[in-house]
Chain A
């Protein structure tokens, strides 16, 4: 991988996204409540989408864009399913 302006910015972006993933995972581990864990899971899905977008710019292939569409739909369905399960249990 050659050193260019775009590659340096992409490396910085990967680092910031990794830090965001770490913080969200910390909240997922120690969240005092179930709802906090659901919020952290939602943020982790968004961080994954951002990872895939950055990776698709890095390897210059636009086929990876479909994964982002699928993840956005699946994460919405998962969040609504878990939270409606909690509402029913209460």
Chain B
């Protein structure tokens, strides 16, 4: 059961990252590309980190998983905001 949940979460996380890469290559505007890469990639990493925590299922791994999710969701909008501000004249 744990194996099936881990496989589904890993696969869907990779799918989200692939979709964001397709958006990065196909959109024709910088802000559209940032819209594709920031949100979908954060969600994909969230799913994969959850899969990791479910697969190993120990206290330290869950603590590190919460730490990684916190970092990703704090820093991805900040980096995106910084890129957008550097583009604006």
Determine the residue in chain A with the shortest Cβ distance to B71: A72
For chain B, residues 39 to 78, give those with C-beta under 8 angstroms from any C-beta of chain A.
41, 44-45, 48-49, 51-52, 55-56, 58, 60-61, 64-65, 67-68, 71-72, 75-76, 78
B37 contacts A39, CB within 8 Å?
A: yes
B10 contact from A9, A40, A43, A76, Cβ within 8 A = A9
Whether the pair A13, B41 counts as a contact (CB closer than 8 A) is no
With A54-B48, A72-B68, A80-B79 as contacts: A17 and B17 at CB distance below 8 Å? yes
Given A38-B83, A73-B71: A43 and B41 interface contact (C-beta under 8 Å): yes
Count of A residues near B, CB < 8 Å? 47
- Complex Cα gap A20–B21 (Å): 5
Nearest to B49 among chain A residues (CB) is A53
Contact flags (1/0) for A50-90 with B, using CB distance below 8 Å?
10011011000010011011001101100110011011001
Contact of A76 among B24, B30, B79, B89 (CB under 8 A): B79
CA distance A35 to B32 in the complex (A): 12
**A-side contacts of B13, CB under 8 Å:** 13, 50
Which residues of chain A are within 8 angstroms of B33 by Cβ–Cβ distance? 27, 36, 39
